[in-house]
Structure 1
Amino acid sequence: MAIPREGEAIQIHSYKHDGNIHRVWEETIVLKATNNLVIGGNDRTIVTEADGRTWITREPAICYFHARQWFNIIGMLRTDGIYYYCNISSPFVYDQEALKYIDYDLDVKVFPDMSYILLDEDEYEQHSRQMNYPDVIDKILKRNVDHLIYLIHQRKGPFAHDFIEKWYRKYVKLQG
């Protein structure tokens, strides 16, 4: 697998299990990249939905992708604190065109006080039936929801104190 370069602007492509495009983020700046990890930053980037509609993100965000974890995490810096949006997803791949992953519907929204809610369980059940998610995928995804909640409770990984702020400072520095 290719590895993007630090400072490079890349696209992020989200797909559904059936292979159809779900969402595209036009530009994210790579802050760190290894074989297993990509951390990126963006602010006011254009997002294109599968149906062609576009919108622009409202605040700076730090994105965390791992090649061995079935989730990705977006930390959004808002005036009242950091909000996290966690997509339950396949591990990422990067192929020169974009960083890519499969979105598996379930999301965890985390508030600045580290309380959280699990979202889109109904969408997950519907898509699981429509796209025939294999049992092994269902088990992996549910195990990763549990692991994500553990990280939230323990304030580990991207939920650690100062993680998002540290990478945001690097993003601002790279923006010059």
Structure 2
Amino acid sequence: MAGPDTGSKIQIHSYKHNGQLHRVWENSLVLKGTESLVIVANDKTQVIESDGRTWVTREPAICYFHSKYWFNIIGMLRNDGIYYYCNIGSPFVYEDEALKYIDYDLDVKVYPDMTFDILDEDEYAEHKEQMNYSLVIDHILRQHLEYLLSWIRQRKGPFSPGFVDQWYEMYLTYR
């Protein structure tokens, strides 16, 4: 599987475990695209929900996807600092000019001071039962949640100082 071309625009598709399309982000600019790592940027991007509702993102964001990890990370540049929204989800696949992953409900919100909240544990428990997540999937997701929390505490990857700013600067060269 080849990754998307740097400088190309792609969609991001999030699915649920049962295969239903959950959400689509339009027009994300690929800043780095390999078969194992994709970094995209978007700003004021239209998002389409599964029920057809649409909304537009409020601020520039740098999004990090890796084929090895069961999470993705969105760094949002706001006036008072960088906030992160992290989705526990399957590793991505890239096909038909779209980056695709399964969203497993658990989320982590990280604040500029690097404190964080784990979100949607109730939604995860509900969907785990409804969609019959296997014990293996549950174990993988819990393990990768711990990896993610470790990255946050260690300021690793997208949480390292300057990471989001560096990629945002690159994004600005395309505008």
Pairwise TM-score range, normalised by the shorter structure? over 0.9
TM-score, normalised relative to structure 1: 0.98
* Corresponding residue pairs, total: 175
SS of the residue aligned with 1:65?
strand
Counterpart of 1:65 in structure 2 is 65
Letter in 1 for 2:129: R
> Which consecutive unaligned segments of at least 5 residues does structure 1 have?
none
Where do residues 125-164 of structure 1 align in structure 2 (5 Å cutoff)? Answer: 125-164=125-164
Counterpart of 2:55 in structure 1 is 55
> 1:4·1:96 contact (CA, 8 Å) conserved in 2?
no
User: Shift in Å at residue 107 of structure 1?
Assistant: 0.1
Counterpart of 2:98 in structure 1 is 98
User: Shift in Å at residue 73 of structure 1?
Assistant: 0.2
Where do residues 1-176 of structure 1 align in structure 2 (5 Å cutoff)? Answer: 1-175=1-175
Aligned equivalents of 2:73, 2:154: Cα separation in 1: 16
Aligned equivalents of 1:35, 1:13: Cα separation in 2: 17
Q: CA RMSD in A?
A: 0.5
Aligned equivalents of 1:134, 1:9: Cα separation in 2: 35
Aligned equivalents of 1:120, 1:39: Cα separation in 2: 25
SS of the residue aligned with 1:91?
coil
Aligned equivalents of 1:136, 1:97: Cα separation in 2: 30
Aligned equivalents of 1:138, 1:55: Cα separation in 2: 31
Aligned equivalents of 2:36, 2:143: Cα separation in 1: 19
> Which consecutive unaligned segments of at least 5 residues does structure 2 have?
none
Aligned equivalents of 2:114, 2:15: Cα separation in 1: 28
> 2:151·2:157 contact (CA, 8 Å) conserved in 1?
yes
